[in-house]
């Protein structure tokens, strides 16, 4: 019960914030799943056919499976999972992190994120832009919230002894995720080894070893 009250207050706060996406020009524009119309966002379903379920998502009570190399799982609720979010400028996610697992360094190109810890202890970190590249970090406990400014590289780590659970709210229907390691070492096709060897000031063999992991 206390958990759901906390969550409702939290989402209220996010609405009050304002959001990064453009404002809607109508009550809603539920995304037409499978539409071939290409617009900035997604085409609208006929408003007369819109139902409550278009604004609904269920399952955020379920823990994500953290049995993977990074020890975390993000369950997103963006316009992809909840078509009613189209044009409304917000989305959310559940983040599960196993003890000492991480949600690896990443950035959301289109959204600021505010994160609320529901369970456990989470270290949150973001890095400011050049030239300072200052690392800003804090240890959060249950009930603590923290904001990651739009576009900045950030990560989370579970520094507690049990599982950690957090809910994130983001200021875009489609925040996007760029995971730094995947973008740099796992692009298709690869960024050339020469480029990465020079950028990271290491031997090409080191670059090759890392690329193999992605």
Other beta carbons within 10 angstroms of residue 121's beta carbon come to 19
Number of residues that bind ligand NAG (CB under 6 A): 2
What's the closest the beta carbon of residue 65 comes to ligand NAG, in angstroms?
4
Tokens of 154: 């950030």
Residue 174 to residue 92: CA distance in whole angstroms:
10
What's the closest the beta carbon of residue 158 comes to ligand NAG, in angstroms?
17
Site residues (CB under 6 A) for ligand NAG, limited to 74-93: none
What's the closest the beta carbon of residue 98 comes to ligand NAG, in angstroms?
11
Pick from 4, 36, 67, 161 the residue near ligand NAG by CB under 6 A: 67
Output 67 or 205, the one with its CB closest to ligand NAG: 67
- In angstroms, the Cα distances linking 98 to 6, 72, 117, 120, 167 are 23, 6, 14, 10, 15
Q: Closest by alpha carbon to 166, among 49, 13, 63?
A: 63
Output 65 or 209, the one with its CB closest to ligand NAG: 65
Residue 103 to residue 157: CA distance in whole angstroms:
6
What's the closest the beta carbon of residue 198 comes to ligand NAG, in angstroms?
36
Q: Is 65 in the site for ligand NAG (CB under 6 A)?
A: yes
Q: Is 187 in the site for ligand NAG (CB under 6 A)?
A: no
Tokens of 77: 């609720």
Output 64 or 83, the one with its CB closest to ligand NAG: 64
Q: Are 99 and 161 in contact (CB under 8 A)?
A: yes
Contact residues toward ligand NAG (CB under 6 A) are 65, 67
């Amino acid at each position: 019960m206390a958990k759901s009250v906390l969550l409702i207050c939290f989402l209220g706060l996010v609405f009050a914030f304002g959001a990064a996406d453009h404002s809607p020009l109508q009550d809603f524009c539920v995304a037409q799943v499978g539409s071939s119309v290409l617009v900035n966002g997604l085409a609208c379903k006929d408003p007369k056919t819109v139902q409550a379920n278009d604004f609904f998502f269920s399952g955020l009570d379920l823990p994500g499976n953290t049995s993977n190399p990074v020890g975390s799982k993000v369950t997103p609720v963006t316009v992809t999972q909840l078509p009613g979010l189209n044009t409304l400028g917000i989305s959310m996610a559940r983040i599960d992190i196993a003890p000492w697992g991480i949600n690896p360094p990443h950035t959301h190109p289109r959204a600021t994120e505010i994160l609320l810890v529901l369970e456990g202890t989470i270290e949150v970190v973001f890095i400011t832009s050049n030239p300072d590249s200052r690392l800003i970090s804090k240890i959060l406990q249950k009930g603590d919230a923290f904001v990651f400014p739009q576009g900045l590289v950030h990560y989370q780590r579970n520094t507690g002894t049990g599982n950690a659970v957090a809910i994130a709210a983001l200021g875009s229907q489609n925040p996007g995720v760029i995971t730094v390691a995947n973008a740099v070492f796992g692009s298709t096709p690869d960024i050339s080894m020469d480029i990465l060897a020079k950028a990271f000031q290491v031997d090409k063999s080191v670059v090759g070893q890392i690329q193999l992991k992605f």
